[in-house]
Amino acid sequence: MIPSKTDPRVLRTRKLIMDSFIELSGRQEFKDITIKDITTEAMINRATFYYHFEDIYDLLEKVLSEVLLVNLNYEIYKNDELNEETFISIFKAITHFQKSLSNRCHRGYEDTIARIIREQLEIIFYKLLLKQNKTEEDEAVKITAVLLSWGIYGTSVEWRRNSKEILPEQYIKSAIPYIITGIMH
């Protein structure tokens, strides 16, 4: 009988593979890491790797998504509304995540990283907007979540390029009143 993907042994092995990948990525660039390196580090065989992940890009995507989610720690925002404190917390988490990755990931993976960040932000903003507006799932809420996710991501890229000497929370703070109250009062 094949164990299910929620079996504790399966979850431990998955975590072991991801931890081994993170460990390796601290020592070498992503483009140089092979599946053999990962299986050796995790002390598993190739079949076990492929049971959990399609390929190394699937592993990269899952690791980044999970690391980002931990960084964003959705638990913090579950009861929150979309206020200044929430925007600052999210922006700080995103800039911190990007900074920690810039040491590890080769430039060629920026598109993947950007997409993962935007997707995770979109989920968080969507949930917060639904909670705050007590609306049914609505196209306008989805579009607003997309707009906020791209905007926050783009702002974090801009901060990284030009304003690293300013703390992320100071950088975003001046724009928040416009986001919250609307540009055209």
pLDDT at 113: 81
3-state secondary structure of 167: coil
**Ramachandran angles phi, psi of 64, nearest 5°:** -60, -45
pTM: 0.74
Fold of 8-53: Arc Repressor Mutant, subunit A (1.10.10)
Q: What pLDDT is stored for residue 171 in this prediction? A: 92
Question: Look-up: residue for tokens 């925007």?
Answer: 87
**How high is the pLDDT of residue 98?**
79
Spatial distance between the Cα atoms of 81 and 130, rounded to a whole number of angstroms? 10
Residue-range domain boundaries for the chain? 8-53, 61-181
Lookup: tokens for 108 = 């060629």
Residue-by-residue DSSP string for 41-64: HHT--HHHHHHH-SSHHHHHHHHH
The whole-number pLDDT of residue 103 equals 60
Residue ranges in the chain modelled with pLDDT below 50: none
CA atoms within 13 A on the CB side of 86: 21
| pLDDT on residue 75 | 57
